[in-house]
Chain A
Amino acid sequence: MKTRDLISLVFFLLLAGSTISAFGSEAEENIKEKEKAEPEGEFDASTFIMDHIADSHEWHLLTKKDGESIAIYLPVILYTKENGLDIFSSKKLAHGQVHKGYKLEEEGDLKGSIVSVNEEGQINEEKLPLDLSITKTVVGLFSAAIIGLLLFLSLARSYKKTGISHPKGIQSFLEPIILFVRDDIAISNIGEHKYEKYMPYLLTVFFFILINNLMGLIPFPPPFGANVTGNIAVTFVLAVFTFIITQFSGNKNYWKHVFATPGVPLWLLPVMIPVEIIGIVSKPFALMIRLFANITAGHIIVLSLVCLIFIFKSLGVAPVSILFVIFMDCLELLVAFLQAYVFTLLSALFISMAVQDHH
């Protein structure tokens, strides 16, 4: 028993050490970034944090002492009516350069978006090019999709080979989660007769959100660390899927409940119908905001705790801040599972409202 305790202690120390050194390198990156941005001035934590959370056309790795930054430049894909499709590397837009009449805006309201400029260098604010670029978020999204595919295709193959009797390897990890989604989310909400049709969607959305949440928690090597589920466009599309599925599976009772709520007097219907319609839209809207805000808030808290070191400009704060970061990361691990669960659960709940029989 003693030796086991000792081993676990050593293991924990090693783990803690590696985490600290990982954060050390990230911290160094912060210092350099700060020196580059404002050589003498104050460290602007909120700009720094927002830059890390927002989507971008390059994947910034670190900034060297002389201010030169090392980044992975991602492809830019633009479409305008005049020029058609334009594809080039975002390196050509780095440091405010103009390429083919396009410029990456670095200040103001349009910060981070690509604008078209004319020969005199004036920005055409009315007609922004349609930006279909492979950005940081898109890379994260694709990697999550690939990881999910690899995981579940191999799972399907091993089930085909060995049947369902003896789960092995990754099977024994994923099988309980899949069964949990089926039994505790789908069957207990939608009911035993109708759940099967919605299982593919519920499983997909659960594992998509889970994989993206977990990938967002790993800070360093790309494609990890992109803020995918903390991007409002991504959560918007997920919520739209739930909305469409709910509306299209709505039966007679559901629509009757919306347009002629039972037990409501006729003169109240002009008030009730708009309220019900707002209810239909606001449910997926809340889904969208919940996932986006939870994940973004988690990233902001972790980055703020790292930033404390640079705000106080002292090494003494570092251990405290790192301890808090580790604690927050553990909490975020819980949130990653919880948000995937809540999104799936509420989707199942909305679907069940649409399909339930008269009672």
Chain B
Amino acid sequence: MTGTMAAVGAGLAVIGAGLGIGRIGGSAMDAIARQPEATTKIQTAMIIAAALIEGAALFAIVVALIAK
């Protein structure tokens, strides 16, 4: 039972991270379209933000792995 719950939890964590990183990616696309000359700076900031969100999601996934 805990295994199933853990799987559901991992799925929920992925939904959250997907929404977050999706928004970052979309906004970065907008920003690059408006200012193509700032592409490298925007990309760096995008990757940092995405990595931080991903970290939160990975915490959840590690908890799900441990709770198998």
Contacts and interface: CB of A to CB of B under 8 A. Distances in A.
Interface of A: 184, 188, 286, 289-290, 292-294, 297, 338, 341-342, 345-346, 349
A290 B54 contact: yes
B62 interface: yes
Interface in B1-55: 40, 44, 47-48, 51-52, 54-55
A342 B44 contact: no
Interface residues of B, number: 12
Contacts of B58: 289-290, 293-294, 297
**Shortest beta-carbon contacts, A-B, top 3:** A293-B58, A286-B55, A342-B51
B25 to A, nearest CB: 14
Given A184-B40, A297-B61, A290 B55 contact: yes
A341 B68 CA distance: 31
Interface of B: 40, 44, 47-48, 51-52, 54-55, 58-59, 61-62
A184 B61 CA distance: 31
A56 to B, nearest CB: 19
Contacts, number: 34
A339 B48 CA distance: 11
A165 to B, nearest CB: 27
B51 A293 contact: no
A260 B55 CA distance: 28
B54 to A, nearest CB: 7
Given A289-B59, A293-B62, A349 B48 contact: yes
Contacts of B54: 290, 294
Given A289-B58, A289-B59, A345-B48, 4 more contacts: A293-B58, A293-B62, A294-B58, A349-B48
B55 A188 contact: no
A341 B43 CA distance: 13
A289 B47 contact: no
Contacts of B59: 286, 289
B2 to A, nearest CB: 14
21 contacts: A184-B40, A184-B44, A286-B52, A286-B55, A286-B59, A289-B59, A290-B51, A290-B54, A290-B55, A290-B58, A293-B58, A293-B61, A293-B62, A294-B58, A342-B47, A342-B48, A345-B44, A345-B51, A346-B48, A346-B51, A349-B48
A290 B14 CA distance: 14
Nearest to A291: B58
Contacts of B55: 286, 289-290
A349 B51 CA distance: 13
Contacts of A342: 47-48, 51
Nearest to B54: A290
